[in-house]
A and B are shown apart, each in its own frame.
Chain A
Amino acid sequence: MPLLERLRATARQAAEELKTRLLGRDFEQRVETLKARYIGMGGDPFGFDVTTASNAAMMLAFFHRMYFRTEVFGIENVPSGRVLLVANHSGQVPIDAAIVGSSLFFDANPPRVVRAMVEKWTATLPFVSAFFNRVGQVVGVPENARRLLEMGEVLLAFPEGIRGVSKPFERRYQLEQFGLGFMRLAIETDTPIVPVAVIGAEEQYVSLGNLKWAARLLNLPVFPLIPQVFVPGAQMPLPTKYRIHFGEPMRFKGGPDDDDTVVSEKVWLVRQTISDMLRRGLASRRSVFL
Chain B
Amino acid sequence: MNLTADAADDRAVVITGICGRLGRRLTRVLHRRVRVIGLDRRAFPDRPSDIEHHEIDIRSKRTKDVFRSGGVRALVHLGVMHNPRDSVEDHHSWNVVAFQHLLEYAEHYRVPKVVLLSSANVYGPRPDNPVFLDEDAPLLGAGPFSEIRDLVGLDMGAQSYLWRYPQTEAVILRPSHILGTVHNAPSNYLRLRVVPTLLGFDPMMQVVHQDDVVSALQAALGHGVRGIFNIGGPPPVSLSRALEMLERTAVGVPHSVARAAVDRLFRWRVTSFPAPELDFIRYVCMVDDARARSVLGYRPQHGILETLRAVDEERWP
- A residues sitting closer than 8 Å to B (CB atoms) are 42-43, 45-47, 49, 120-121, 123-130, 133-134, 138-139, 141-144, 147
Q: Bound complex: CA of A142 vs CA of B132, how far in Å?
A: 12
Is residue B236 within 8 Å, beta carbon to beta carbon, of the partner chain?
A: yes
Chain B interface mostly: loop
Residues of A within 8 A of B200 (CB): 125-130
Q: Which of A125, A126, A134, A142 contacts B254 (CB 8 A)?
A: A126
Q: How far is the CA of A95 from the CA of B204 in the complex (A)?
A: 27
**B281 to A: closest C-beta gap in Å:** 12
A45-B204, A45-B235, A47-B238 known; A144 vs B127 contact (CB < 8 Å): no
> Are B201 and A130 closer than 8 Å at their CB atoms?
yes
Closest B residue to A122 using CB positions: B127
B255 CB-CB contact with A under 8 Å: yes
In contact, A139 and B127 (Cβ under 8 angstroms): yes
Residues of B close to A123: CB separation below 8 A: 127-128, 283-284
Separation of A43 and B237 alpha carbons in the complex (Å): 8
3 shortest interchain CB distances as A-B pairs: A126-B200, A143-B130, A123-B127
Q: How far is the CB of B242 from chain A (nearest CB, A)?
A: 12
Docked pose: A123 CA to B255 CA in angstroms: 13
Q: Are A46 and B201 in contact (CB under 8 A)?
A: no
Interchain CA distance A147-B130 in the complex, whole Å? 9
B312 at the interface (CB under 8 A from A): no
B-side contacts of A139, CB under 8 Å: 127-130
- Rounded to whole Å, the gap between the CB of B305 and the closest CB of chain A is 13
Given known A45-B132, A45-B236, contact A121–B204 (CB-CB < 8 A): no
Contacts of B127 in A (CB 8 A): 120-121, 123-124, 129, 139
Q: Is the CB of A43 within 8 A of B235?
A: yes
Q: Which residues of A contact B170 (CB under 8 A)?
A: none
CA distance A143 to B235 in the complex (A): 18
- Distance in angstroms between the alpha carbons of A126 and B199 in the assembled complex: 7
Instruction: Categorize the interface residue count of chain B.
Output: 20 to 34
The chain A residue sitting closest to B205, CB to CB, is A47
Interface residues of B in 212-265 (CB under 8 A from A): 235-238, 254-255
Chain B hits for A45, CB < 8 A: 131-132, 204, 235-236, 286
Nearest-neighbor residue (CB-CB) of A46 within chain B: B131
Render B193-204 as a binary contact track against A, CB cut-off 8 A, 1 for contact. Answer: 000001111111
- How far, in Å, is A253 (CB) from chain B's closest CB? 26
**Chain A residues near B284 (CB, 8 Å)?**
123
| Shortest Cβ gap from A261 to chain B (Å) | 29
Q: Which residues from 151 to 183 on chain B have a C-beta closer than 8 Å to any C-beta of chain A?
A: none
A250→B112 CA distance, assembly (Å) = 54
Minimum CB–CB distance from A49 to chain B (whole Å) comes to: 8
Q: How far is the CB of A181 from chain B (nearest CB, A)?
A: 15
Q: How far is the CA of A142 from the CA of B128 in the complex (A)?
A: 11
Q: Is A141 a contact partner of B132 (Cβ separation < 8 A)?
A: no
Residue in B131, B203, B237 whose beta carbon sits within 8 Å of that of A147 in the complex: B131
Evaluate contact between A147 and B132: CB separation under 8 angstroms: yes
Nearest residue (CB) in A for B137 is: A143
Residue of B nearest to A146 (CB): B130
Within the complex, what minimum Cβ distance (angstroms) separates A136 from chain B? 12
Q: What CA separation (Å) do A23 and B128 show in the bound complex?
A: 35
Nearest CB in chain A to that of B283: its residue:
A123
* A143 vs B133: C-alpha distance when bound (angstroms): 9
**21 A-B contacts (beta carbon < 8 Å):** A43-B235, A43-B237, A45-B286, A49-B238, A120-B127, A121-B127, A123-B127, A123-B283, A123-B284, A125-B200, A127-B200, A128-B200, A129-B200, A130-B200, A133-B202, A133-B203, A133-B204, A134-B202, A141-B128, A143-B132, A144-B131
Extra 18 A-B pairs, beta carbons < 8 Å, given A120-B127, A130-B202? A43-B237, A45-B131, A45-B204, A45-B236, A121-B127, A123-B128, A126-B200, A126-B255, A127-B199, A130-B200, A130-B201, A139-B128, A142-B130, A143-B131, A143-B132, A144-B131, A147-B130, A147-B131
Complex Cα distance, B137 from A141, in Å, reads 13
Cβ contacts under 8 Å, A133 to chain B: 202-204, 238
Complex Cα distance, B198 from A47, in Å, reads 17
Chain B contacts for A49, CB-based, 8 A? 238
Residues of chain A lying within 8 A (CB to CB) of residue B255: 126
A126 closest partner in B (C-beta)? B200
| Contacting pair A141 B235 (CB below 8 A) | no
Checking B128, B204, B254 against A47 with a beta-carbon cut-off of 8 angstroms, the contacting residue is B204
